[in-house]
Amino acid sequence: MDRRKEFLIRVYVVLAVFALIAGVLMWKAFTINVVQGDGWRKKGKELYFSLMPVKAERGKILAEDGSPLATSQPIFEIRMDTRASGLTQELFNRHVDSLADNLQRFLYPEKSKQAIKNVLVSARKKSDRYVLIARNLNYDQMVTVKGFPLFRLGPNKGGMITITENRREKPYKNFASRTIGLDRENAEPIGLEKSFDQFLKGHEGQRVMRKVGPNIYIPVNGLEELTAKKGNDIVTTLNPGIQEIAELSLADAITKHQAEEGCAIVMDVATGAIKAIANLSWNNAGELVENYNYAIGKSSEPGSTFKLASLIALLEERTVDTSTAVDLNGGACRFYDRIMKDSKMHGVGKSDLTYSFIQSSNVGISKIAASVFENNPARFVNYLKRFGLSTKTGIELDGEPSPLIKDPQKNKDMWYGTTLPWMSVGYELQLTPLQILNFYNGIANGGKVMKPYLVSDILNGNHTVKHFDPVVLRDSIISESTLNKVMELMKQVVEKGTAKNIKSDVYSIAGKTGTAVSNYFEKGSEKKNYQSSFAGFFSS
């Protein structure tokens, strides 16, 4: 092969290789721009733009009269984009002095006008697109700042960025605070805020944001966004006037008796609607605050308020009556290896069931209960189940514990010879204040037990989304003859018994006092810890 031919072959090979490479590059360019173009353009756009969620305004929690108990108030943060597209150097120079002057007079009186101007000028030189101007402004303050020189030119020429957040506020402050609850960013919500979150939270929106720095995004004006949908409002059964009385009365009682904590609940007899619920305890600063919902969440031995359940069980047996005789032994008696005591030694001997109830004699009630149910304690427990005392009330709030009611058939290892007499006077069992109240409410309601509830309606503007009717848990837990007898005895408790200090000449009250010693069985405990209570109703 001559040298000319060999040279041409080499040239053709090199040209073919270059042509192949060019073809591959052209195909790759075509693929990127045409076939995969949309995807790559989207990926590039995402480096600078992002669709970000806009939190919806949370619905209000309202009292029964429509006054707000929890509401979302807009709080504004003001930033400045010193390199906004329409903010020329000439505009900046013309207005920076007057802007600094207004900021100094309205927001930062402790700083000099020159110091504020220096911050703005420095930010402009650094091309800072997210300068903090102010935080935590209310609506009126935000509008004022929006009218400042430069900012009044709009976001494009003035560079003002407004960031809105909704802050949850309680106009009544401590008012039923734990029941209303908290909606918290970094912690579990509580109370009605949690239970009705699906209705209150609304639906998030979306907004196009432009990236101007590491993890810094600013709104892009003029681009479409999906508007957030405000949450629904909920109307509670709480009555502001009754709630105020409950809270003040509870605070006075806790202070007067130097108690550690306390609660008060007011329920509408016919419906089960909670009209007031207060929970107070001392904080480290010596102030009474709502830190825990004792009314719903704390179980304890109720003591003598439970004697009403024992009284009804005894009378429903028909083997005893209110006049049944009993020896009070001066205030103490023995059951096996334990001594049952009244609140004090009183010297009373022969008595009856009526006196034992209205004077709250542990000895009298426990001796009669033992005489009737000792051979069949399961029958006594079955009455408690019939009354609804072995199940939760089902109130809308989280945290209600199940009642602890021992059963001689299911809890044989926990049942002793002393269990029945001590249960009959409110020991060796645990109930919450609300569970005791709901039982009393059933008696006041003629034997019909209602489900306690806190929310009556869910509203979207003026439209009712959902209405909650009263719910009957048990149609009848007591016979009419027994009902008449216990109603009379509860009136006598207030007329001449352990609750005579609350007797009123204006209206009739019926109820039962309760005192439980929380360290009753602790040997060597000289100082007793007491839990005092009253459950009742008016006008009876």
Distance separating alpha carbons of residues 277 and 123, to the nearest angstrom? 53
If asked whether residues 190 and 257 sit together in one domain, one would say no
If asked whether residues 190 and 269 sit together in one domain, one would say no
CA angle 232, 236, 238 (to 5 degrees): 155
Strand partners, 281: 261, 289
**What's the domain count of the chain?**
2
Task: Specify whether the CB–CB gap between 269 and 275 falls below 8 A.
Answer: no
User: Is residue 6 in some structural domain?
Assistant: no
Dig out the tokens for 57 from the structure. Answer: 């305004």
Distance separating alpha carbons of residues 437 and 295, to the nearest angstrom? 10
If asked whether residues 150 and 294 sit together in one domain, one would say no
Residue 14: the pLDDT is: 63
Residue 172: the pLDDT is: 85
If asked whether residues 232 and 257 sit together in one domain, one would say no
User: Is residue 207 in some structural domain?
Assistant: no
Sign of CA dihedral 483, 488, 489, 490: positive
If asked whether residues 141 and 269 sit together in one domain, one would say no
User: Is residue 45 in some structural domain?
Assistant: no
Dig out the tokens for 267 from the structure. Answer: 């329920």
Is the pLDDT at 411 greater than 90? The verdict is no
If asked whether residues 191 and 248 sit together in one domain, one would say no
Q: What pLDDT, in 10s, does the model give residues 347-359?
A: 999 999 999 999 9
User: Is residue 44 in some structural domain?
Assistant: no
Distance separating alpha carbons of residues 84 and 105, to the nearest angstrom? 25
pLDDT band at 231 (very low <50, low <70, confident <90, very high): very high
Task: Specify whether the CB–CB gap between 60 and 201 falls below 8 A.
Answer: no
DSSP string, 452-519: PBSEEEEEETTEEEEE----EEES-SS-HHHHHHHHHHHHHHHHHSTTGGG--SSS-EEEEEEEEETT
Q: Which DSSP state fits 229?
A: B
Lowest-confidence range among 206-210, 260-264, 534-538? 206-210
Residue 250: the pLDDT is: 96
Which distant-in-sequence residues (6+ apart) come within 8 Å of 372 by Cβ? 314, 317, 319, 320, 380
Helix intervals (H) in 128-232: 139-146, 155-158, 177-180, 191-195, 197-200
Distance separating alpha carbons of residues 536 and 540, to the nearest angstrom? 9
Region 263-280: mean pLDDT is 97
User: Is residue 46 in some structural domain?
Assistant: no
User: Is residue 214 in some structural domain?
Assistant: no
- 249 by Cβ neighbours in 10 Å (0-12 / 13-18 / 19+) ranks as middle
CATH number for the domain including 112? 3.90.1310.10
Q: How far apart are the first and last CA of the chain?
A: 128
Residue 17: the pLDDT is: 64
If asked whether residues 403 and 271 sit together in one domain, one would say yes
User: Is residue 87 in some structural domain?
Assistant: yes
DSSP string, 5-66: HHHHHHHHHHHHHHHHHHHHHHHHHHIIIIISHHHHHHHHHHTTEEEEEEPPPPPPEE-TTS
Q: What pLDDT, in 10s, does the model give residues 280-336?
A: 999 999 999 999 999 999 999 999 999 999 999 999 999 999 999 999 999 999 999
- How many helices and strands, by DSSP H and E, does the chain display? 18, 23
If asked whether residues 65 and 118 sit together in one domain, one would say yes
pLDDT band at 121 (very low <50, low <70, confident <90, very high): very high
- Highest mean pLDDT: which range of 48-62, 209-223, 396-410: 396-410
CATH number for the domain including 330? 3.40.710.10
H or E element that contains 206: strand 205-213
Residue 38: the pLDDT is: 64
If asked whether residues 81 and 180 sit together in one domain, one would say yes
Region 494-504: mean pLDDT is 94
Domain that holds residue 349: 244-538
If asked whether residues 446 and 429 sit together in one domain, one would say yes
If asked whether residues 351 and 478 sit together in one domain, one would say yes
User: Is residue 336 in some structural domain?
Assistant: yes
- Highest mean pLDDT: which range of 164-173, 480-489, 524-533: 480-489
Q: Which residue has the tokens 């305890």?
A: 281
Dig out the tokens for 39 from the structure. Answer: 């995807």
Distance separating alpha carbons of residues 374 and 422, to the nearest angstrom? 12
If asked whether residues 283 and 231 sit together in one domain, one would say no
Is the pLDDT at 5 greater than 70? The verdict is no
